[in-house]
Amino acid sequence: MRSYFFVLIFFFFFFHSSLFAKEEVHAQIVEHQTGLAIPFVNVFNKQTKVVAASNDVGWFRIEGSPTDTIEFSCLGYKTQTVIFRDIIAAPQIKLEVGSEYLQEISIVADRNTTLGTQQIDKIDLKLMPANNAQDLLRTMSGVFIAQHAGGGKAEQIFLRGFDNDHGTDFAVFVDGIPINLSNHAHGQGYADMHFMIPELIQDADFYKGSHEIQNGNFAVSGAARFKMINGLSKNSIKLDIGQYGFLRGLVRLNLTPKNRFFSKKNYEKAFLAIEGTLNRGFFEADQKFKKLNAVFKYNTQIGSSTSLTVGASYFKSSWDASGQIPLRAVTNNTIGWFGAIDDTEGGSTGRINASIKLASLLGKNQRINNFAYYSNNQYQLFSNFTFFLNDSLNGDMIDQVEQRNLFGYTFEYHRNDKLFARTTLKSTISAGIRADFTHSKMLSSIQRKALAINDNNNVQEINYWLYIKERWRLNEQWIVQFGTRLDLFQFKVNNQLEQSSKGRIAHRFSPKISIFYNPIPELQLFLKGGSGFHSNYAQAAVENLSVDPLPRALSADFGGVARIAKKWIVSATTWLIQSDAEYLFVPDAGEFEDNGKSLRYGLDFSTKYEPIRNLWLNLALNYSYGILLEEPEDANSIPSAPRFTSTASISYNHPIGIDAYIGMRYMGIRPLIEDESVMADPYFLLDASLSYTYKSLTFGVSAQNLLNSQWMEAVFYDASRLRQETMPVDDFHFTPGTPIFIKGSATYTF
């Protein structure tokens, strides 16, 4: 493995020399209507087959000959082609806003800057309404989420047969900042996205499997990289009012109406957004949910080749929760469907993020990114899952607390080279560090009053990484993308109760390869294979040396994407993921559980069709099956792993300002214990929304669970004991899903 890594390094430096001298152009891409810079635009030279992308403030560099044709494409804008010499004469490209989403998606591999992403899922970011930041994950086909703590805790995430808990095997990033928190008080890889404001998300890259080399830790079942807007063209005020005491306000302010902030000559963009939410909730007990978000972002061009992006965000929320309730208490009328056994559950959380990015275009198709970030996370959660099982007098409430400081830095070097007549090489080398310093505690409590401290640890985890990625375009039909990643981890745990300190060092090599083949422009076939991992809890790694701190996961995908017609795209993928260890920390019990090796396989199918202009039909079907390889055949099913899920939707966007959406979600049965003697019930839900924009006003109405179905959003099967019971009882414990929830909104733009 080490020799393979050094061969890649040699390959990177040996082959990087352009054999054909070309002229270079440096230009900016802006929105035609507003002059707003457009980031993440694909810039494709049709003659040399070199592909580039615009930076955070819309600037790009690309080489070519005077007669070359350059194509500019970005979802949400009309694709445009410009002759190279015309760009030299007028170095500003103006793209018009468009809604031909299916036409803008390229099936041809060499025209995409982000190979391996779920391209057609991006469309749903434009079409699907999001009630909160976590709902943005639902735009990724196959992803289901569940909330089970009053709306304040990170959601449970399901994908490809994984119950990812709150993010253990699913990585999330926002503007490059990692959201997953290792060694979190409530779950490994805990990913709370509630600090995000949905209206600020411009784009996202979705990945399934562990095939993308940049994602690293936690990216086993998949990953999502969200990108916020870099600026606003106008100000806006939005008010949402819904059932059950729901109230939300959002203010977005354009701080640079003339594209100037500090400088008198350089392009600058800055905005501030503030969001506040109050919600009683549909439970019998008031959930008292409160949330405050604030986001600031600033972009500028420094000189002719460097852009600077500074971001900061503040998030604070608190809530009560009715918790997971036992089904027997509902059936015997002890409590109602939306009742509670212990309504003193709940908690509070907060996160502060700050980041700075310098992106430099070096010329000769080279660029460098330097990105540094800091996060501070505060968290406290009161939970009572077993009621009086362990303590018949005081009850089993636990209090999970953490304070965290997270520091990180990422360096990236990118370059494009034309090696031979039809062969190009796009290369990336990246190195970075992430350091988490966490103080976490778990206490026994009664009605939020501490009784005893069960765990009290200072945890230090430092992750260093280096990766090399090559994208080799062999000819018009074939592209091979390959590379390897080295991660080094340092774990250190100071046990404050035992006054002891232990540490451990571990590393993981993660090679990956993807092959893309376009036999015709309307069809892309692909084969992917790679190794990924998720880190285990540091406490487990240092306490038991037989535990692998970085258990490996091998994955493979085979599939294709086809354009059946001009406005009809179909995608199908068969996949397999083998994990070396289903070794998880159960934070609610304060214990570690090893389920051994596992194997999952399945099929993903999705299609999008625009039968008439501005009407989109969407369907996704996902099947998976998983087994524990070290358990007997009659008891080797993976608990909580969904077997079949499906989503479908109809969206309509009329140019006069009407937007309509109706969507379906279906999750089939899934085993709750290994022998499949207990299964979770399926559910089927309908959601809908309608909005109308007239000049500067937008009015909307939305409904969740339109059929008012009774369903369990999160469900588990385990033992608990109620106060009046003398013995533990195995039972379903669930959080009821929302009944019909209607919300209205009004937005004023100025």
329-349 pLDDT, tens digit each: 999 999 999 999 999 999 999
Adjacent-strand bridge partners of 128: none
Number of separate helices (H) and strands (E) present in the chain: 6, 43
Instruction: Answer whether residue 587 shows pLDDT above 50.
Output: no
Mean pLDDT for the stretch of residues 35-52: 84
Query: How far, in Å, are 74, 337, 345, 552, 666 from residue 600 at the CA level?
Result: 35, 34, 35, 14, 20
What pLDDT score was predicted for residue 24?
82
Q: How many angstroms from the chain centroid is the CA of residue 408?
A: 18
483-498 pLDDT, tens digit each: 999 999 999 999 999 9
- Look up residue 680 and give its two tokens: 């979770």
CA-wise closest residue to 462 among 122, 172, 266, 183: 183
What length does the chain have?
750
What pLDDT score was predicted for residue 18?
42
Sheet of 59-64, strand order:
59-64, 23-31, 92-95
595-632 pLDDT, tens digit each: 889 999 999 999 999 999 889 999 999 999 999 999 99
Q: How confident is the model at residue 592 (pLDDT cuts 50, 70, 90)?
A: low
How far apart (Å, rounded) are the C-alpha atoms in residues 552 and 580? Answer: 5
Is the pTM above the cut of 0.85? yes
Instruction: Answer whether residue 109 shows pLDDT above 70.
Output: no
Q: How confident is the model at residue 132 (pLDDT cuts 50, 70, 90)?
A: confident
How far apart (Å, rounded) are the C-alpha atoms in residues 573 and 208? Answer: 10
52-88 pLDDT, tens digit each: 888 888 888 888 888 999 999 887 788 889 999 888 8
Q: How confident is the model at residue 19 (pLDDT cuts 50, 70, 90)?
A: very low
- Radius of gyration of the chain from its Cα atoms, rounded to whole angstroms: 26
Q: Could you give the percent of the chain with pLDDT greater than 90?
A: 69
661-674 pLDDT, tens digit each: 999 999 999 999 99
Burial class (CB in 10 A: 0-12, 13-18, 19+), 7: exposed
What pLDDT score was predicted for residue 100?
63
Q: Give the DSSP letter of residue 522.
A: T
244-279 pLDDT, tens digit each: 999 999 999 999 988 777 776 778 899 999 999 999
What pLDDT score was predicted for residue 20?
43
What region, left, alpha or beta, does residue 478 occupy, with left being phi > 0 and alpha being psi -120 to 50 degrees?
beta
- Cα dihedral 37→40→41→44 (10° resolution): 140
How far apart (Å, rounded) are the C-alpha atoms in residues 387 and 643? Answer: 31
739-749 pLDDT, tens digit each: 999 999 999 99
Q: How confident is the model at residue 114 (pLDDT cuts 50, 70, 90)?
A: low
Q: Give the DSSP letter of residue 521.
A: T
How far apart (Å, rounded) are the C-alpha atoms in residues 501 and 381? Answer: 26
